Homo-oligomer: A and B are copies of this chain.
Amino acid sequence: MSKAISGLAFEAWAALHRQRIEAALARFIPDAELSSGRMFESMRYSVLGGGKRLRALLAYASAEAVGASSDVADHAAASVEMIHAYSLIHDDMPCMDNDAMRRGKPTNHVVFGDATAMLAGDALQPLAFRVLLDANASASGIVAASRLLADASGARGMAGGQAIDLANVGKPMTQAALEEMHAMKTGAMFEAAVVLPALMIEADQERVDSLTQFAANIGLAFQVVDDVLDATASSETLGKTAGKDAADDKPTFVSLMGIDAAQAYARALTRQAIAAAEVMGGNNARLIDVAFAMAERKS
């Protein structure tokens, strides 16, 4: 059926665009030089060479949907991946999650030390803004996009979601509170990935609204799937310790709803995301592919 064919074509597209974001990031991050070389090395260590690059794929797919240039797509995708990379460096540090391994290699602070890891994360934030600001787009489009990046990564977005997570360790949470936290902690940067290209080319407000709608649904679906995988997949498949949420007594969609209802919820959210993409129209096939891939991932 067309699903399988589109799935195959999607994997080829995704592989191509994973190469593309890698090249863009390598171009935007300076080589090691001067005595601050160790910090540049630390930045490159966490930004390059890895991950599913879901945020970059969303930015590229969204750029295709709205007809943004490849330059705009590269700058949007790279800025979002840089914010994501900094957040992982800081999250892994001893004062946060104290994780020693990520994606099968030692975490940044284990390799470079806590001080350099903190500085590398600190330096990736302004670099993400610089990359966005340097896109070949109208000044007003860039300002609108930069505002969204600031909000998505800041106190009302990712950093604020982290703070809520921190404040709720070991406490029961309602589903509404859990969704609010995830909308900030991971959803906001998914939204940035999806919406930045449209803002940069000053797409009309209806399209921006549809994309925001799409992003909110896939962002939440992503987290529900994460919780289901943590409860059902093996550590080997996941590439990280499975069953960690239950062991940490963390509130999750599985602990609140059970596995079957959580799986059904993820499917419903994915359907809503796809409906939003369809309302928007345009060249939306890749966006829909990414939504399916995020819902059906096994790790």
Contact = CB atoms under 8 A, between A and B. Distances in A.
Contacts of A115: 95-96, 166
B139 A151 contact: no
Interface string A119-150: 10111011101100110001110110011011
Contacts of A139: 138-140, 142-143
Interface residues of A, number: 59
Nearest to A38: B167
Contacts of A94: 95
Instruction: Give how many copies assemble into the complex.
Output: 2
A130 B151 contact: yes
A191 B34 CA distance: 21
B167 A154 contact: no
Interface stretch (A6-14, A100-108, A155-163): A155-163
Contacts of A140: 139
Interface of A: 30, 34-40, 43, 86, 90, 93-96, 113-116, 118-119, 121-123, 125-127, 129-130, 133-134, 138-140, 142-143, 146-147, 149-151, 153-157, 159-164, 166-168, 177, 180-181, 184
